[in-house]
Structure formats: C-alpha cells, structure tokens
Amino acid sequence: SGINAEYEAVVSTQSTGFQTFQHYFKRINLRMAVSRSKALQITLQGIKRINLSFCPFDRYHGTGEVREYYNNVTDRRVKESNPQCEVNIAVKHDDSPPSINIVYEDGDERWYNPRTQSLHHIKEEIHLETRRKLAEKDIPVDYGIKWRY
C-alpha cells in the first residue's frame, strides 16, 4: 500500500504540477529524517564478555569497525548498564582478520566478522539477540546510551 501511494503521488505530479511534486519530496525527506533519528540503544546487560581483535596494519576493511565498536562499548554510560562485563581487545600483528566475539551470560557465543558485515548490521544483530535473551528471562532492558548509526 505504501509503494502504491508513492507511485500514485509521482504519477499525480505529472498532471497536477509542481506543488504535488514538492509535497511528495517533503514526505520522503520526513521519512528519511525519522529513520535517521531512530537510534540503536546499546546495553551490555546480559553480556558476560566482549572480545575484540584486529591488526592495525591490516590493509583490508574491518579494522575501523572494531575500533569504533570498542569506543562504543567502553563509554562510561554504556559500561554503567553492566559493570561486570569484560571488554577485551587484542591488537595482533599477524595479519589476522578483525573479529568481534560476544559471550552472553547463558554461555552462548557469537562471532562477527567486520570484513563481511557492516558495523550497523553487527550492532543490530547484537541488539536484537540481547533483547531476545533478556525477554526470555523477563528482565527489563536498561539502556546505557543511544548511538546513532
């Protein structure tokens, strides 16, 4: 229904003129602004350990994502959501690929490869998995801070 309405708005621009065309693009810009303003909230609740590794001399994509994620999870306000969560970072010099490893309190372990996944996608997967695990235990989610992505 949304696609048809957008198509009809574009088709109507041909017959009604510039004003409808302007209205259509205002709607699109508003929708884009709303989607940009939705923030992914990071919490360390339910996470036991985060292991990050990267090679600073790696000439491929992915090292910057690990560094940025490290900055996100070590922020003071995010750490307050779970002070017992260990954040380990390993700086390697063996051209090994960068990796993000999340160990949850129930022992479940997830590996993410920043070379093949964007940081946005990795954060989103971690966010959804954390929320799912907390919902199973009926624990309310306590967010530390909102991060825009």
User: Which has the higher per-residue pLDDT, 74 or 9?
Assistant: 74
Token code pair at residue 114: 């920043």
Mean pLDDT (whole number) for 139-144: 67
pLDDT tens digits for 12-38? 545 455 555 555 545 444 444 433 334
DSSP for 51-100?
EEEE-TT--STTHHHHHHHHHHHTSHHHHTT-TT-EEEEEE-SS-PPPEE
Q: How far apart are CA 102 and CA 35, in angstroms?
A: 27
Token code pair at residue 142: 């306590």
Mean of per-residue pLDDT scores for the chain: 76
Chain Cα centroid distance, residue 94: 28
pLDDT above 90 covers what percent of the chain?
Answer: 38
Mean pLDDT (whole number) for 123-144: 83
Mean pLDDT (whole number) for 42-49: 91
User: Which has the higher per-residue pLDDT, 122 or 41?
Assistant: 122
Helix, strand, or coil (residue 119): helix
Mean pLDDT (whole number) for 64-87: 90
User: Which has the higher per-residue pLDDT, 57 or 66?
Assistant: 66
Q: What is the pTM of this model?
A: 0.67
Buried residues in 85-105 as b, exposed as e (16+ CB within 10 A): bebeeeeeeeeebbbbebbbb
Parallel, antiparallel, or unpaired: how do β-strands 47-54 and 86-91 relate?
parallel
Exposed (0-12), middle (13-18) or buried (19+): which is 111, by Cβ within 10 Å? exposed
Q: How far apart are CA 96 and CA 53, in angstroms?
A: 9
Question: Which of 11-25, 34-48, 99-113 has the least mean pLDDT?
Answer: 11-25
